[in-house]
Amino acid sequence: NRGEDAGQKVTLAVSTLNNPFFVDLRDGAEDAAEELGIELDVVDAQNDSATQANQLATSASDGSAGVIVNAVDSAAAGSALGPVVDAGLPVVAVDRAVEGAEVASLVASDNVAGGEQAAKALAEAVGGKGQIVILEGVPGASSTNERGEGFTKGLAEFPEIEVVAQQTAQYDRATALDVTTNLLEGNPDIVGVLAMNDEMALGAIQALGARAGEDIHVVGFDGTEDGFAAVEDGKLYATIAQNPEELGRQSVEVMSKVLAGEEVEELQNVAVDTVTVENVEEFSD
């Protein structure tokens, strides 16, 4: 019972819109949809896999012609897509991979590679030695795990860098402020903070006050507007810029090709860039 005009409506299932990153992703997707004459139905799982499973099941029966999924969790999304796959709808994954389900294409930047780049950038900033702390994302979230993996890889090359504390700040700016403040008490000699996203990096900067960018360097991840601004101010040494708008835009473009029956790449890589004060102008607007 799909719409007569196949290709009309596409569901974009976003993991959360409480985060500027995904808001940008959605904006990119909406722009592309408008250009291509696609009706885009955005649903927000508020970071809950089960909510997303519910939304995906609903999209299988609500007249959508295809589903773009930004998985809350890669592993869980596989079976959650079952009803969509059963209904014969094409699926495009964006930002995060989907395990255990056939997708037409994955439009993503690489979190592990990005994590590695972030670690290297911080190492460069601190001159390859000294004590650092890591601010982790939501425990158990796939991006937390993947970036952590990347951090470990990246730091492996710098034996003189010591990770003295590794604590979660839930991807949240306010939490990061408190956690960093507290960590500083126990570890007054740190030279760097490696944060799994910009929100936490900005919270850390707030906690560091004048020391940020002077004797303690901070590296974030995402490339949000606030992040770029902090880079320009010299407070944030670097952020790993994903291009969420581009992720969103390309995911819709790929979906439109799939619906038109065209061939698409299995993996569509969107560049991840290390943004520092050197190149920030190219990114911020």
Ligand X SMILES: O[C@@H]1[C@H](O)[C@H](O)CO[C@H]1O
- Residues forming contacts to ligand X in the complex (CB under 6 A) are 19, 21, 95-96, 143, 171, 197, 221-222, 242
CA nearest neighbour of 73 among 92, 54, 43, 96: 96
DSSP 43-91: EE-TT-HHHHHHHHHHHHTTT-SEEEE--SSHHHHHHHTHHHHHTT--E
Q: Residue 76 or 219: which CB sits closer to other proteins?
A: 76
Residue 95: name its binding partner from ligand X, other proteins, none (Cβ under 5 to 8 Å by kind): ligand X
Residue 261 CB, nearest approach to other proteins (Å): 26
Q: Which does 81 bind (CB under 5 to 8 A by kind): other proteins, ligand X, none?
A: none
Both structure tokens of 265:
């790449």
Q: Site residues (CB under 8 A) for other proteins?
A: 14, 17-20, 22-23, 41-44, 47-51, 53-55, 57-63, 73, 75-76, 78-80, 83, 100, 136, 138-141, 144-145, 164-168, 172-174, 177-179, 181-183, 185-186, 199, 202-203, 206, 225-226
95, 109 contact by CB (below 8 A): yes
CA distances 216 to 72, 143, 190, 227, Å, are: 33, 25, 7, 17
DSSP code of 212? B
Distance of closest approach, residue 237 Cβ to ligand X, in angstroms: 17
Residue nearest to ligand X (CB): 197
